[in-house]
A and B are shown apart, each in its own frame.
Chain A
Amino acid sequence: MTDTILDKEQKLVQLLEQTFKKLSGKVVRQRRVTVSVEKELVPSVLSYAKSQLGYIHLSHMSCVDWPENNNFEIIYILWSPADKVQLFIKTLINRENPEIDNVDMIWKHANTYEREIREMYGIQFNGLVGAQEFILEDWDDMPPMRRDFDTVEYVDDNYTFRPGREDAGDVREEIVKRSGEDIPDFAKKYSRD
């Protein structure tokens, strides 16, 4: 029974694995397939999926930081309106000197995602055209979405904390003390511990 349900997903993985040698795919569940490829293969896999397999829509492009393995993972999420399957194409790139090929000739709107990833993670996209500054203004620190970026330290250097709000501690006791009111019952069940 499960075989027939996951039929089109398995066929898709087979097809991709036959076409590209260095590619491994996996069916996650119904309507969801992930494949991992080398970063050199990304443009060809994307254009193959777009022109031959009907994955005509790039829904999203995102990035995950893995400082543990010294990697960035770039994920392209494609959608096929005919198959109704979401195809995740993942690739790992090295954290030192990260660069990958630009794909905005396949989908124009990839340009926006790439500029965001460039700014937030500091990844260079070879051949990407567009202003360096995208959302942040006058940013001169480490790209802020990297996991080794310490936001609290940055805030401490650039802004002033209001005394009493230097952490996310529970301040309800303090409020009770100052206002003389009780904590309402509905609020007691929420706790930070």
Chain B
Amino acid sequence: MINDKNSKKIVDIIQDFSRRHSLFVLAYGTGCGAIEIPPTMTSRYDAERFGIRGMATPRQADLLLITGYLASKTLKRVIRAYEQMQDPKYVIGFGSCTINGGMYWDSYNTIKILSDYIPVDVYINGCMPRPEAVITGFIELQNLIKEGKANGAQKYKENLEWYRENQKKVIKDWKMPDYNW
């Protein structure tokens, strides 16, 4: 193996391998799409064979699933949860609502484009996506990790100003701690 800067070190390969086979999902559902998570996790579709399982707290989780519409009130909690998660961390936007507002395209209290507020690695469309689609989304994310392209967290750090500006447009009364990374 040529050991220049651009080639992956063996350590990275091992790291990425273990990362993509132990995606721990923060057990947090926002919209109606959360109802597809129990069948995905339980015996019929058994997502655990891909190393995907639920986790109780943001600090232990790698993956934040936004399962559907996100009310502007919930956005605050999601941002806090996301910022508390440890690197490496990934976000999956789940359902049409996260992509373009879905059936809530003209609702006064749900956000329309999730990736304006937090970086999204993979979108799964459908209203609501079936467990097969969900698992396809997970595999897509695993492939991105393998190729080193799932770098949403880094994007967030670099463009924090831009994200903050968008977030503050919705959360007018910003009373949140500023985390240091």
Contacts and interface: CB of A to CB of B under 8 A. Distances in A.
Contacts of A155: 105-108, 112
A66 to B, nearest CB: 21
A137 B111 contact: no
Contacts of A69: none
Q: How large is the interface on B (under 10, 10 to 19, 20 to 34, 35 or more residues)?
A: 20 to 34
Interface in B141-174: 169-173
Chief secondary structure at chain B's binding surface: loop
Contacts of A138: 171-173
A160 B106 CA distance: 11
Contacts of A164: 100
B105 A165 contact: yes
B40 to A, nearest CB: 24
B72 interface: yes
Interface in A134-180: 135-138, 140, 144, 149, 151-152, 154-155, 158-162, 164-168
Contacts of B76: 137
Interface of A: 135-138, 140, 144, 149, 151-152, 154-155, 158-162, 164-168
B100 A162 contact: yes
Given A137-B73, A165-B105, A158 B169 contact: yes
A-B pairs with the 8 shortest C-beta distances?
A162-B100, A165-B100, A138-B173, A138-B172, A159-B112, A137-B73, A151-B108, A152-B106
B86 to A, nearest CB: 28
Interface of B: 72-73, 76, 99-101, 105-109, 111-113, 116, 169-173
Given A137-B173, A162-B112, A167-B105, 4 more contacts: A151-B106, A162-B101, A165-B100, A166-B105
Given A151-B106, A168-B105, A160 B173 contact: no
11 contacts: A136-B73, A144-B108, A149-B108, A152-B106, A159-B112, A160-B112, A161-B101, A161-B105, A165-B105, A165-B112, A166-B105
Contacts of B106: 151-152, 155, 168
B99 A137 contact: no
Contacts of B105: 155, 161, 165-168
Contacts of B109: 136, 144
B171 A162 contact: no
Nearest to A166: B105
A160 B170 contact: no
Nearest to A137: B73
Given A158-B169, A158-B170, A165 B101 contact: yes
A154 B116 CA distance: 18
B162 to A, nearest CB: 13
B171 A161 contact: no
A94 B8 CA distance: 72
